[in-house]
Structure 1
Amino acid sequence: MTVSGVLILVGVLLLLLGAYCSWTAGRLDRLHHRVATARASLETELARRSALVAELAGSGVLDPASSLLLLDAAHRASTATSDERERAESALTRAIGATATDVEPWGTELSTAMRRVQLARRFHNDIVVSTRELRRRRMVRWFRLAGHAPIPGTIELEDGR
């Protein structure tokens, strides 16, 4: 093989490596965007559930003890800091399970809201796992294709499964 043949081969390999790195960086960027979108969707569903529970607690259809328990848990969940959020949302789920919230029409709406939270959390965690798996690849680490983006974390909370 001549020198020019070796140079052409090296050039082609570098071009393929660059194309692969560019494609992987783009994919990683899209995954990070999807994580942010899924997180926002989960936050929206959690806020809807808290608002619905607070509305149910204030409606007067439950006994006073159940109303106070639900109202307190909903307030704590909606005002929790990011460090306390998972604990507060789990406490809200337990409070919903501990009270008789199956009164019509609230029971149907609340079960729908609970299911939407479950789906949003599962979707978020699936995307986070995919993003982490891609970030663990050698090429991504060697060439620092993730840039300075923080590693996303899963959301672990009791969601009434």
Structure 2
Amino acid sequence: MRHNQNSYTVDEALQKLMHFCAYRDRSQKEVEDKLDSMRMIPEAKEKIIITLMQEGFLNEERFARSFVRGKYRMKKWGRIKITQELKKRQISSPIIKLGLSEIKENDYLSTLYQLAEKKAEMISETNTFKKKKKLADHLIRKGYEPSMVFDCVNDIID
């Protein structure tokens, strides 16, 4: 029974957050932000978060793994950018490491090369040095490790 649009019982909030977490994996920070927006008191927030974890709706490792798979496969992000985004979501370093284990090393390298070749074709720069710089900057912005990027760029552009 809602008194006004901004107040929820613990059970109503829990139901709402179960749906929120079932739709896609969420980080604990996303759940806390959602509870804040619902104006839940700290005791209720804690109770709800514990229940969500116990019931398997909230799992940081599962979130990190699915986040890594999604950003790597769909957006072709590199490890550095993925790590920064997970840190923004307050995921701990050990869990980030587990999440990154979803990326296989040989796939990672071939993805980097595919991205580089595709982008190199689109860069109309005739000066080899400038073309290499533009390509390297693009790949580094995507979150790939600079040392890997420079090796790749040098392999692709002669």
Higher-Rg structure is: 1
Alignment TM-score, normalising by the size of structure 1: 0.25
Instruction: Using CA pairs under 8 Å that are at least 6 residues apart, name the structure with larger relative contact order, 1 or 2.
Output: 1
Alignment TM-score, normalising by the size of structure 2: 0.26
